[in-house]
Structure 1
Amino acid sequence: MRTIVFLSAAAMTLAGCQTPMPQSVVDSQRPASDSVKREYVDALRGTIKPGNFVKAEISSVVLLDPEKQIYVYCTRTAERAYPNWSYIGLSLEQNMIMGLAKNDYRCHDKRLRYYDFPELRNMKS
């Protein structure tokens, strides 16, 4: 019983370490450009089965690090076999994808705006 209580407390503590995006970052939101969308679709082409997504959305792009000009955005998708949202967070530097994180906690921030992403949903091979 002590072990369960300890593990639960540890999990809550770790969950508390993941802070949402600062308000200044959220205030910098702008819709993803066509080039950002195109680069994302091109990066996935050949790695996933076309037509696999039943829902696809892309978030606004936000300025994460003004000094280094690092921008971030998220995508969320639902597949036929797995209807719940799956999240991917991406970072951009000089308009190129520099990193990604599956299920990035920042993608769950309620202040982040999401838009329909038909380019991904309708992707051809």
Structure 2
Amino acid sequence: MKNKFLACAALLALAGCQTPAQQSVADSQRPPSSAVRREYVDALKGTIEAGNFLKAEISSVVLLNPEKQIYAYCTRTTERSNPNWSYIGLGLQHNMILYLKKDDYRCHDKRLRYYDFPELRNMKY
């Protein structure tokens, strides 16, 4: 228990060192397409229990790196076992996932818009 607390404290300290997203990145926000929503749900099928989410939201898609055409978006959910928001950040290049990061600090940016995500909340196996 003590080790978990220390690990969480260290992660929070490191998260505080991150710089906020550039304004141009925040300005590039576009609502997530139905394809983005569908692919995310399809990727999770069979890995989590269907109907486990009480709330589910997906963020706008932003262009992180114009030269490399890297896009990113976030999801946030609350579960029956945890009423607090859980965040996941994803980076995409050429429709391939570059990274998937739990509690990505960029997902907490107040400028990022979130949309209801009923496809995830109502997901079936």
TM class, shorter-chain normalised? Answer: 0.7 to 0.9
Q: Which contiguous aligned blocks of 4+ residues in structure 1 show a shift greater than 3 angstroms?
A: 11-16
2:108 maps to which residue?
Answer: 108
Q: Percent identity, aligned pairs only?
A: 77
Residue number in structure 2 paired with 1:23? 23
Structure-2 separation of matches of 1:37 and 1:118:
10
Instruction: Indicate yes or no: 2:109 matched with 1:95.
Output: no
Query: C-alpha displacement at 1:94, in angstroms?
Result: 1.1
Match of 1:119 in 2: 119
Does the 8 Å contact 2:15/2:105 carry over to 1?
A: no
Using the size of structure 1 for normalisation, the TM-score is 0.88
Structure 1 residues 16 and 43: CA distance shift in structure 2, 3 A: same
**SS of the residue aligned with 1:67?**
coil
For 1:102, the aligned partner's letter is: K
Which residue in the other structure is 1:84 paired with?
Answer: 84
For structure 2, the 5+ residue unaligned runs are 1-9
Residue 16 of structure 1 deviates from its aligned partner by 4.1
**Offset at 1:97?**
2.0
Counterpart of 2:47? Answer: 47
Given that 1:36 and 1:95 are in contact with CA atoms closer than 8 Å, whether structure 2 keeps it comes out as no
Write the distance in 2 (CA, Å) between the matches of 1:13 and 1:40: 30
Instruction: Please report how far the alpha carbon of residue 116 of structure 1 lies from its aligned counterpart in structure 2 after TM superposition.
Output: 0.1
Gaps of 5+ in 1: 1-10
